[in-house]
Amino acid sequence: MILTSFQELRGLLMNASLIDKSAMRISEDTYNDGLEVVEVNINDNQIESWHVIDEIQNDETGLFGYVLKNPISEQIVISFRGTEMPTSVTTEVKSKYVGSPSQDAMLASGEASIENGNLVYEKNTISKSDIAESNKDVTEDLEGIVLGNSNYTKKRYGTTAYLGTPSQDASLASGRAELDAKAGTISYIHKNQFTEAEEKVDHYVDKYGAKNITFVGHSLGGGLAQYFAVNHDSNAVTFAAADIYSLLTPDQQQRAINGEYKDNVISYTYPDDMVGTYYKESVGSVYYVGDPSDSSMPWLETHGIKNYRSDGMYNDEGYFLPESLFDESFQSQLNLSPLALKNSGVSDFHIQIQEALMEMYVQEMKQSEEQIEATKQALLEFLDVYMNTMRDMKSKYINSVGSGQFDKLNASDVESYFHEFTKAPVDGVPMLFDIQMFDSLMASLGDTHQDTADIAYNMERMSQDLMRADQYLAQWLRYES
């Protein structure tokens, strides 16, 4: 097949890549057991299917996820389930009515009713299995995400000489350590969702290639997705992801600070999501769903994956509407969709987004400069009109005294009245406002106008220099390769 245009190439790239809406739907459906296929309604005429080819599961740690394949593009998605909070089940309870104070209290409050001599009410219960699963996820969140370091994701760490101490023997007995009798050493073992997912992730990376895999997930699942994307130089699209920066190696942490994962890892979060915004350093590119300046104190209300579900958040191609997204660094509204840019083959898309934001700031600053200049001109025109009007008014009354109905008044009376009700005259014109304050305002506007012009000029140069540097580096890389 011969590609005849850039648009055809762009179309092929876009169709073969995971889109925002599919990443969200897969992340949401990963909370369901027994999943076989994920159907994504992209628009009225397009449905995308992702078929489950494997599960990633470890009951002991609470790990659960799916491996999915798109039969058309043959792209692979590995999804991880996030923290599961226990859900209550409502059941109807019937007990014989005996007129006890507690039963009467339930009747009085409307919580219960009497049917055929029985007290009937609803009871909410949480199963022990749900509580157990939730406890596993909470333990992972606390020990791994909050308190963990790079050792947390290693199956074996801290090999030391076996001395038979009580603590060593206790670790061996609990299964948290292994003894190498031949070497006389003891190695400590971690067993958590990160270590237990590693084997299957490695298998599918080897089978399909890291570049053909995208990791997705929500909350703790998003943290797992980011972690494996970084470890395998793969891709991730996450929602309200838990922070995994502390779980990276020192080298990976430095690379994250340098922005080396910003093309690979895209994370969406609400600006008031306590989990999604709980990080010291972002691992990849973070985009806020909503204006950070309008957000309230961080909490959990916007944390659920359901908050990313509305069809109105996506365009007809299944990407987030850029106007609903805000950049992490500038905290400004986007005019380009990050994942759409990436899937179009644009490398360093996060830099292009920031270049566009800088250019927008330059234009806003220039508009501010023009507004300040317009304000100065309007004030000068106001002063000119005022001076002429007051001259005409004073002349009118001076010409009216000494005759007719004003024959008992003279020019000094007019001057006296103007002196009483106005401020000191300027060039013989009575002033209703302080001319010194007016002069001070004009001087301040002049300084601000000059400062704004200087800022706009320097911002424009910075923006142009950044774009040129980006272009030069891209050309150099193409030449070197």
- pLDDT at residue 88, rounded to an integer: 54
- Domains of the chain, by residue range, sit at 17-84+193-344, 89-125, 360-480
Instruction: Name the one residue in this structure whose structure tokens are 């340098």.
Output: 258
- H-helix or E-strand containing 87? none
Condensed to tens digits (0 to 9), the pLDDT of residues 146-181 reads: 555 667 888 877 788 999 999 889 989 988 889 999
CB 60 within 8 A of CB 66: no
Condensed to tens digits (0 to 9), the pLDDT of residues 48-101 reads: 999 999 999 999 888 999 999 999 999 999 999 997 655 556 778 888 888 888
- pLDDT at residue 8, rounded to an integer: 47
The distance between the two most distant Cα atoms of the chain, rounded to a whole number of Å, is 128
CA–CA distances in Å: residue 121 to residues 72, 83, 101: 52, 31, 15
Condensed to tens digits (0 to 9), the pLDDT of residues 222-233 reads: 999 999 999 999
CB 384 within 8 A of CB 478: no
In the predicted model, is pLDDT for residue 141 greater than 60?
no
Condensed to tens digits (0 to 9), the pLDDT of residues 280-308 reads: 899 999 999 999 988 877 788 899 999 99
Task: Name the residue with higher pLDDT: 375 or 325.
Answer: 325
For the 17-84+193-344 domain, the top CATH level (class) is alpha beta
Structure tokens at 89: 């089940």
Nearest-CA neighbor of 220 among 155, 302, 147, 138? 138
CB 64 within 8 A of CB 57: yes
Q: What is the mean pLDDT of residues 332-351?
A: 80
Task: Name the residue with higher pLDDT: 97 or 365.
Answer: 97
Query: How much is the CA Rg of the chain, to the nearest whole Å?
Result: 35
Condensed to tens digits (0 to 9), the pLDDT of residues 411-422 reads: 888 788 777 776
Q: Which of 139-148, 168-177, 376-385 has the highest mean pLDDT?
A: 168-177
Q: What is the mean pLDDT of residues 134-140?
A: 46
Q: Say what percent of the chain tops pLDDT 70.
A: 76
